[in-house]
A = this chain, B = another copy of it.
Amino acid sequence: MPENNAEQTKPASELRFDLVSKDWVVIATGRAKRPETFAEQKRQKEETPQGDCFFCDLKNQNPPVLEYKNKDGEREVVVIPNKYPAFKHSVNLRERAIGPYSLMDGSGFHEVVITRDHEKSLGEFSVKQIRRVIDAYHERYLELSKQKHINYVSIFHNHGREAGASVSHPHSQIIALPVIDPDLQRSLNGSKMFFENRGECVHCKMLEWDLEDKQRLIYENKEFAVLAPFASRVAFETRIYPKEHHSYFERINDQEKDLLADAFKQALGRIHKGLNDPAYNFFLHTAPSDGKDYCHYHWHFEILPKTSIWAGFELGTGIEISTVEPEKAAEYLRNLEI
């Protein structure tokens, strides 16, 4: 009887507050789906046939801006300029006003990080292979962040057509921009405000709780925690955080890179297995390279599986509705054997 009552008065959803962005997110607790049901979803895979794949032809990608070869001298990872860049670098950044408006040239860099295998997604890579991708991210980050007018380097990866990947061959993208992107700017603002009010890093505060509480923890190694954020925006949102307070991704050392690769393997491998190879996006959020002080910030990767069945509401309100509780998502991913 009390249980029935509890069931009847259970709200349709919970509103959770994101401590960093100050956004409200909705967790549809009332009609949340069981985590297992996400594995039943089949995504529409429109693969580019291997024979037609431009990215498969690694050896003819010329000139790469970076290449890593295997012991047989074959290219394993290459970074090339995007053939259809959203941004091209110009030394003269023309800023101008039109009436009340202001604009500038979209000056910047747009590169693609390509790995060898046509079929395997990052979650199926070995830790060593993932480590090479992280090396490429890091090396290009260092190079691009030094360029004129570049204030932010965005590293992201789209897997699957639903996540915006126009080419199925696994690849990441690096965009270097003269402006700090609005999402990061909000994250920086929230983190700074918390630091000024409370004298501590908001991400460290959440990590401390989550590492102790363990309800949202998916995996941890010596340096990194993989967890489902309390205010998850989508079902199975997963983040990789350095456990210690580090603001600048580019200061990562070799040992940390090994452990980041391990954390990535655990995060993406579990998502791949548990959700039946879903489409997903992941991206890096790190302190900008504009020379200002961002020691209040805490870099991390955010992974957003495309599991959502709700849409449209988010556009009008900016409130996203997650159809599984992050605690249940974390438990499900944590208990998988990979």
The answer to whether residues A19 and B101 also contact, given A88-B11, A106-B11 and a CB cut-off of 8 A, is yes
**In the assembled complex, which residues on chain B have CB atoms less than 8 Å from the CB atom of A186?**
318
* In the assembled complex, A30 has its CB within 8 A of some CB on chain B: yes
**Chain B residue contacts of A321, Cβ below 8 A:** 86
* B312 and A85 form a contact (CB under 8 A): no
Does residue A179 face the partner (Cβ distance < 8 Å to B)? Answer: yes
Chain B residues within 8 Å of A179, by CB? 15, 24
- A182–B315 touching, CB < 8 Å: no
A319 to chain B, nearest CB (A): 5
| Interface residue A100 (Cβ < 8 Å from any Cβ of B) | yes
Is A12 interfacial (CB 8 A cutoff)?
Answer: yes
Contact (A86, B281) CB under 8 Å given A312-B163, A317-B175 = no
Flag if B106 contacts A15 (CB, 8 Å): yes
Which A292-338 residues have a C-beta within 8 angstroms of B?
304, 310-313, 315-319, 321
How far is A182 from B18 in the complex, measured between Cα atoms in Å?
10
User: Does the CB pair A104–B14 fall under 8 Å?
Assistant: yes
Are B181 and A319 neighbours in the complex by a CB distance under 8 Å? yes
Give chain B nearest CB distance to A305 CB in angstroms. 12
Q: Which one of A103, A104, A231 has the greatest number of beta carbons of chain B within 10 Å?
A: A103
A-B contact pairs, 9 of them (CB 8 A): A11-B105, A15-B106, A16-B101, A16-B102, A17-B103, A22-B182, A23-B182, A183-B317, A281-B312
Flag whether A69 is at the interface (Cβ < 8 A): no
- CB of B17 within 8 A of CB of A313, answer no
Q: Judge whether A129 is part of the interface by a CB distance below 8 angstroms.
A: no
Q: Are A182 and B21 in contact (CB under 8 A)?
A: yes
Distance from A77 Cβ to chain B, minimum over Cβ atoms (Å): 20
- Once the chains bind, are B206 and A100 in contact (CB under 8 Å)? yes
* Complexed CA–CA distance, A311 and B156 (Å): 12
> Taking the complex as formed, is A168 at the interface, i.e. its CB lies under 8 A from any CB of chain B?
no
Assess whether B14 is in contact with A103, with CB atoms less than 8 Å apart: yes
B231-A313 in contact (CB<8A)? no
Q: Quick one: CB contact mask for A199-225 with B, threshold 8 Å, 1 for yes?
A: 000000110010001000000000000
A206: B residues at CB distance < 8 A: 100-101
Supply 5 further A-B pairs (C-beta < 8 A) apart from A11-B90, A22-B185, A24-B179. Answer: A11-B105, A101-B206, A155-B316, A163-B311, A283-B315
Interface size on A, residues (CB 8 A): 75
Interface residue A165 (Cβ < 8 Å from any Cβ of B): yes
Question: In chain B, what residue has the closest Cβ to A12?
Answer: B88
Query: Is A193 an interface position by the 8 A CB rule?
Result: no
**Contacting pair A209 B100 (CB below 8 A):** yes
Q: Which of B104, B173, B313 has a CB less than 8 Å from the CB of A86?
A: B313
The 7 closest A-B pairs by CB, nearest first: A164-B311, A164-B312, A13-B106, A183-B318, A283-B316, A158-B312, A156-B316
| Set of chain B residues within 8 Å of A26, measured between Cβ atoms | 86, 106
- B contact residues around A185 at 8 Å (CB): 22
Q: How many Å from the CB of A26 to the closest CB on chain B?
A: 6
Within 8 Å of chain B (Cβ to Cβ): is A31? yes
Contacts of A99 in B (CB 8 A): 209, 213
The answer to whether A154 has its CB under 8 Å from any CB of chain B is: yes
